[in-house]
Amino acid sequence: MTTTSQTTTVSNGVNVEALLGAREAITAAPAAGQFTWRARCAWVDGVHSSSTCEGFYGLGDEQARSAPHTIDADHPEQFAAEDNGPTPVEIVLSGLASCLTAGVAAVAQNRGIQLKSVQATVEGDMDMAGILGIDSDVRIGFSAIRVRFEIDADASSEDIAGLVSQSQKRSAVFDIITNPTNVHVTVG
Amino acid sequence: MKTVTTVVIGAGQAGLAMSRELSRRAIDHVVIDRGEVGEAWRRHRWDSLRLLTPNWANALPGAPYRGPDPHGYMRVSELIARFDDYAAAISAPVQGDTTVHRVHGSEGDYRIETSQGPFRCASLVLATGGCARPRVPGVAEVMPPGVFQSTSLHYKRPDDLPPGGVLVVGASASGAQLTREIQASGRPVTLAVGSHIRLPRSYRGRDIEWWLDMVGALDERFDAVENLERARRTPSPQLIGGPDPVDLNALQELGVEVVGKLAGIRDGQALFSGGLASAVASADLKMVRLLDAVDGWVKARFLNDILPPPHRPAPTRLPENPVLNRSLIDGGIRSVLWATGYRPDFSWLELPVFDPRGRLRHRGGVVDVPGVYALGLRFLRRRRSHQISGVGDDARDLADHLAQHLAGARAA
């Protein structure tokens, strides 16, 4: 009979120390925690548009990236468009999935759980009678959103459920979608 | 001006426990209160309230419960009677009807201006507790004018509310209990549920408080807990002083409508978070985790065979699509009851002891200026700090510190 003992270092690629350090720093200097995120969107043609995310404000100053990111949005051919990118509502769903998935990875790292694979499938239901103005009683946005996670990790199913639960609590996009936000739109 | 070594502000369980510790150390002191002993309990509790902890768990320092019903849950009137007896037994120097207007001064020389004249003291104990004010969210300010509003601190009985629907905001101990009796009074309740703690009243034949005690959860210390801020914000569990469940399943069986956390009020509509299922899943998960810990404790002590078998309360059931808004102007909801928590009130404390968010700066009750202490706050030094039985150990620790401070001040 052999007995093996080994110590494993969990690596999900999340720098938890840096995140915990940021929490301490922002607790000590709350003004540094005030962030403003931005996207700039330009109409291309038809319902095709292109958004650019570049600088943001935070840590008390303007922050820059080494290169901007662009996300194109369009409508599919079924809507007589050219399908140059996902629809804006799919970008919202993808934002939710990405936010929750990042949360799962960060929480797993913090709890010492090694992830092998994480898949999130998001669905949002929409009745087009709303957006097309056919029935004013129908909500224009999603009537329901479902997220299903499939996670392979060195952990019990209960611990995995705990990861998913905690990721919802700290997810900005989950909060943005589940709670109302005042939106101010201006021209000029 | 009266001069005394130590002034204790507040004559509830915390102030009395501290008085006993000071007397044992021969530190001369006075306990002042705006009213009588246990004034907050007399003034700010609803009529039906029974303590959440069973009687055996409500020992005051040196005075365990010796009544006829150790497994019952006492009414507030019984608790107040116990306070009166206790104050007499320990000869607490209580001066009632003394409202504090302001506290000022510096290191070791404090002035307390009160409705009965000023006091001067070398040390000071803030024992007014963590539940002096309701914690009402800012959204209350935009409530449509026809809606009657109250808080769990002011509410006394269902008939104080107008007839008709009631929106109870908050589903912790206060909100869950009040929802139950308001629904039973014939006023249909919509209960807005944010993050909450679900616990069964009893488990494997024992009260849940007994298990929390046994597994050591209540003795967890402030300097050992991973995230003290979060621990201090942990809401009271959905429990009532009695055998009946007041969790969301039980409340829904009574006809209560469960909705998400109140997220805002817009155009006369209360808007509820779509995160209800998430809050509920989290509470169920944490409950199961605690019961797993209890089962582990039982198993490790080979007690499995002599205790009733483990069981798990049914997962919380929710409507498939919980409503996301309710009108506050169509007459359906006539009143809103804020059960959104409590906070201490140190508005009279004119000392540099507050953080940027206005919270008292202290380390385990040792306040940030010499000779000043706080007692009776949530998770002050231990998870049980805010309980009746939790204040004794804290009072002893802080009285030790206070006595050392006085000795040091004299030596200097």
Q: Which residues of chain B does A165 touch, with a Cβ-Cβ cutoff of 8 Å?
A: 278, 281-282, 285
Instruction: Tally A–B CB contacts below 8 A.
Output: 44
| Residue B295, pLDDT above cutoff 80 | yes
Distance CA B136, CA B337 (A): 10
- Summarised one tens digit per residue, pLDDT across range A52-84 is 999 999 999 999 999 999 999 999 999 999 999
pLDDT at B412 (0 to 100) = 66
- Cβ–Cβ gap A175/B275 under 8 Å: yes
A183 touches chain B (CB under 8 A): no
Helix axes B76-89, B13-24, angle to 10 degrees: 20
Distance CA B357, CA B359 (A): 6
Distance CA B163, CA B183 (A): 11
Do A149 and A166 touch, CB atoms closer than 8 A? no
ipTM over 0.85: no
A149 touches chain B (CB under 8 A): no
Position A146: which residue type? R
| Residue A3, pLDDT above cutoff 80 | no
- Cβ–Cβ gap A169/B271 under 8 Å: no
Residue A57 neighbours by CB under 8 Å, 6+ apart: A34, A35, A36, A63
Q: Cα–Cα–Cα angle for B17, B22, B25, nearest 5°?
A: 135
Chain A: give the shortest CA distance to residue B269, in Å.
12
Position B198: which residue type? R
| pLDDT tier, B411 (very low <50, low <70, confident <90, very high otherwise) | confident
Q: Residue B253's Cα: distance from chain center in Å?
A: 27
A34 touches chain B (CB under 8 A): no
Distances (CA, A) of B129 to B96, B324, B346: 17, 36, 10
- Cβ–Cβ gap B263/A180 under 8 Å: yes
Q: Cα–Cα–Cα angle for B168, B174, B178, nearest 5°?
A: 55
Distance CA B287, CA B344 (A): 28
Q: Which residues of chain A does B194 touch, with a Cβ-Cβ cutoff of 8 Å?
A: none
- Cβ–Cβ gap B278/A169 under 8 Å: yes
Taking the model in full, what pTM does it have?
0.89
Distance CA B326, CA B77 (A): 38
A188 touches chain B (CB under 8 A): no
- Summarised one tens digit per residue, pLDDT across range B193-245 is 999 999 999 999 999 999 999 998 899 999 999 889 889 999 999 999 999 99
A158 touches chain B (CB under 8 A): yes
- Cβ–Cβ gap B260/A30 under 8 Å: no
Distance CA B375, CA B368 (A): 14
Distance CA B44, CA B51 (A): 14
Interface test with A, best of B265, B282, B286, B289 (most A CBs within 10 A): B282
- Cβ–Cβ gap B356/A30 under 8 Å: yes
- Summarised one tens digit per residue, pLDDT across range B122-181 is 999 999 999 999 999 999 999 999 999 999 999 999 999 999 999 999 999 999 999 999
- Summarised one tens digit per residue, pLDDT across range B322-369 is 999 999 999 999 999 999 999 999 999 999 999 988 999 999 999 999
- Cβ–Cβ gap A179/B195 under 8 Å: no
- Cβ–Cβ gap A158/B288 under 8 Å: yes
Q: Which residues of chain A does B271 touch, with a Cβ-Cβ cutoff of 8 Å?
A: 179-180
| pLDDT, chain B, mean | 95
Closest CA to B49 of B202, B335, B242, B334: B242
- Summarised one tens digit per residue, pLDDT across range B24-66 is 999 999 999 999 999 999 999 999 999 999 999 999 999 999 9
Averaged pLDDT for residues B111-126: 97
Residue B297 neighbours by CB under 8 Å, 6+ apart: B211, B214, B215
- Summarised one tens digit per residue, pLDDT across range A122-159 is 999 999 999 988 888 888 999 999 999 999 999 999 99
Backbone φ and ψ of A16, nearest 5°: -65, -35
Do B248 and B193 touch, CB atoms closer than 8 A? yes
